[in-house]
Amino acid sequence: MEVTAMHFRRKAAESLENAKLQHALKKMQSKFVDKRAAAITELPNFTEIRDAATDIRERVVNHLDSYLLRFEQEATARGAVVHWAEDIEEANRIVVEIAQRHGVRKVVKSKSMVTEECALNDYLASVGVEVLETDLGEYILQLAHEPPSHIVAPVVHKSKEEIADLFAEKHKRTRKTEITEMCREAREVLRPGFLSADMGISGANFIIAETGSVLIVTNEGNGRLTTTLPRVHVAITGIEKVVPTLEDASTLLRLLPRSATGQPITNYVSVLTGIRGQDESDGPEHFHIILLDNGRSRLLGTELQPMLRCIRCGACMNHCPVYQNIGGHAYGWVYPGPMGSVLTPSFVGLENAIDLPNASTFCGECAVVCPVKIPLPDLMRHLRHQQVVRHLRPWTERVALRLWSWAARHPAVYALLTRAAVRLLCLLGGKEKRLRHLPGASGWTKGRDMPAPAGRTFRELYQARRSL
């Protein structure tokens, strides 16, 4: 997927003015935030489960190499082929090699954020392989030629009416507006795809070291069809998705859907282990698992390592007041919200996502709702620090901060400067006691008045009081 994170500011402004998007975001917020809150209260031992989940993920990240090697060994023993991809080019190349080796012309896909990272669909199209997205949201986006705007609800930015128009145009059928009818129509279009595809591509919510299994959760059942009907199944996932045991996976599964959509569990949980056995009636003849690094291992041993605990539930974005107001496209890459503000600069380069770590008020709600306790504000702050160290912030900002901190370290200078400043601002505030334009802070005064200061600083008044 093309990285457009550098346009965050412009795209955020556009999002704020997009009435349809604002309506959709409002609906999403009430749906996911309220449902999660209710789902969490259903778990009397939520705190313990969250602690356990955090421990599991932390243990994995601390011993990533050994769990991955165990996974490879177990998966291989059950007939799967495990591939290691350093970057997205390598991952794409491996998929194409597999497709060519098996004479694949048509591919069905179940949602996978890693393949979004890889822009795999475009790559496959460029070598003449036809790809059909089968997750309803992803399918709609494929028809609309748009990227996802959320990792769990990829099409959350579109209204039912827009989708009805899109279906009518692309399916060339009568326009339907009932959701059940629209779903039926999509199902009718997709079903022949499943039956005629030579290859199914899926992501993985977890991969399990003790059994070499790939675990996926879906609500639509398309994941099951994608991974069992075609003769070749390729699962592509980030290296951090490994969990030690099935038991551990079940612990995480108690939190993943609850955190994501407020569901106690998704409609389908598929544990895909090995290739089709001799006496088995379904499952792929060939099972390839691609483990993608793409910058993940670079985070190991750094301040950003906790980000690798992420189980991609999307709770951080659902609860982020910034995301709630601008939606996912503004973030300019695969992962939006607070998660994206850490992942995007980490994976595509800090210099290519300069605004993202700053696009947070540090309200801290993302860390409160994260089921594996990733300290997202701390990680964003660390990236801001990296920007300062690498001189990536605008010079005006750097100078302003330097001046402030220098003055704050010299109380006599500070007293003099602030005394002058508050008098001036008080004067400018006039009778109304508010400033409608503040030079140098137009970002503030464009939408707000600046309440004028009282005119004397606390330190002045306090000194005067003491000398009475």
Partner 1 sequence: MRVGLFVTCLVDLMRPSIGFAALRLLENAGCEVVVPESQTCCGQPGYNSGDYASAKALALKLLGEFKDCDYVVLPSGSCAGMIKVHYPALLKDDPSVLESVNRLSSRTYELTDFLVNVLKIEKIPGRYSGSLTYHDSCSGLRELGVQAQPRALLAKMPGVTLTEMTECATCCGFGGTFAVKFGAISTRMADKKCANIAQTGASAVVAGDLGCLLNIEGRLRRRGDLQTRVLHIAEVLAGEGKEGSTWK
Which of 271, 401, 424, 427: binder of partner 1 (CB under 8 A)? 401
Residue closer to partner 1, measured from CB, 260 or 422: 422
Helix (H) or strand (E) holding 19: helix 19-41
Q: Which of residues 351-380 bind partner 1 (CB under 8 A)?
A: 358-365, 367-368, 378
Residue closer to partner 1, measured from CB, 177 or 302: 302
Q: Which amino acid is at 235?
A: A
463 is a contact residue toward partner 1 (CB under 8 A): yes
**Residue (of 72, 100, 127, 381) closest to 242 by Cα position:** 72
Shortest gap between Cβ of 398 and partner 1 (angstroms)? 8
Neighbour tally for 356: CB within 10 Å: 29
264 is a contact residue toward partner 1 (CB under 8 A): no
Q: Is 434 helix (H, G, I), strand (E, B) or coil?
A: strand
The angle that helices 19-41 and 8-17 make with each other, rounded to 10 degrees, is 90
**Residue (of 279, 296, 277) closest to 287 by Cα position:** 277
448 is a contact residue toward partner 1 (CB under 8 A): yes
Positive/negative CA dihedral, 132, 136, 141, 144: positive
Contact 299, 343 (CB under 8 A): no
430 is a contact residue toward partner 1 (CB under 8 A): no
Give the x-and-dash track for 7-36 against partner 1 (CB under 8 A): --x--xx--x--------------------
Shortest gap between Cβ of 453 and partner 1 (angstroms)? 5
Residue closer to partner 1, measured from CB, 63 or 456: 456
Q: Which stretch binds partner 1 (CB under 8 A): 139-147, 152-160, 181-189, 441-449?
A: 441-449
444 is a contact residue toward partner 1 (CB under 8 A): yes
Give the x-and-dash track for 376-395 against partner 1 (CB under 8 A): --x--xxxxxxxxx---x--
**Residue (of 428, 407, 51, 459) closest to 254 by Cα position:** 51
The angle that helices 19-41 and 246-260 make with each other, rounded to 10 degrees, is 130
**Residue (of 340, 324, 293) closest to 147 by Cα position:** 340
Shortest gap between Cβ of 325 and partner 1 (angstroms)? 5
Which of 145, 172, 391, 409: binder of partner 1 (CB under 8 A)? 409
Backbone angles phi, psi at 71, to 5 degrees: -60, -45
Q: Which two tokens stand for residue 11?
A: 């795209």
Q: Which amino acid is at 109?
A: K
Shortest gap between Cβ of 446 and partner 1 (angstroms)? 5
Which of 421, 424, 427, 430: binder of partner 1 (CB under 8 A)? 421
Give the x-and-dash track for 321-350 against partner 1 (CB under 8 A): xx--xx------------------------
**Residue (of 60, 127, 33) closest to 306 by Cα position:** 60
State the number of binding residues for partner 1 (CB under 8 A). Answer: 65
Q: Which two tokens stand for residue 45?
A: 């031992």
Q: For residues 156 and 324, what is the distance between their CA atoms, to the nearest angstrom?
A: 11
Binding region for partner 1 (CB under 8 A) = 9, 12-13, 16, 321-322, 325-326, 358-365, 367-368, 378, 381-389, 393, 397, 401-402, 404-409, 411, 414, 418, 421-422, 433-434, 441-444, 446-454, 456-459, 461-463
